[in-house]
Amino acid sequence: MIPIRISLDREIYEHADRVSRRQGVSLADFCRRTLREALAQYPSDKPWMAYVGGLEGSTDDSSTVDAVVYGRDAR
C-alpha cells in the first residue's frame, strides 16, 4: 500500500469515524472501501478487470479449450 495524507472537514471526519466504528472497521479501511466503491463507476485503464471473477463454470473448463477451438485433445 502507498501511505497518503489527506485533510477532511471536521464534520466529514466525525461522520466517517462514526460509520467506520459501527461497521467495526478502522477509519483507514472504511476510506479504502468507500474510495474503491466510488471508483468502480469510472472506467479504468484496464476495463477487462471489471469482468475478473465474474464468469461461471467449473475449474477444469479451460482444459477443454484445445478440443473446442482446435478440435484436438490438450496434451
Pairwise CA distance, residues 33 & 27, whole Å:
10
Residues 20-39: what's their mean pLDDT? Answer: 94
- Whether 59 has a pLDDT exceeding 90, the answer reads no
In this predicted structure, the answer to whether residue 74 has a pLDDT above a threshold of 60 is no
What are the C-alpha distances in Å from 6 to residues 11, 31, 34, 56, 64? 15, 11, 15, 40, 50
Which amino acid is located at 57 in the chain? Answer: G
**pLDDT level of residue 12 (50, 70, 90 thresholds):** very high
pLDDT grade, residue 41 (50/70/90)? confident
Q: What pLDDT was estimated at residue 6?
A: 94
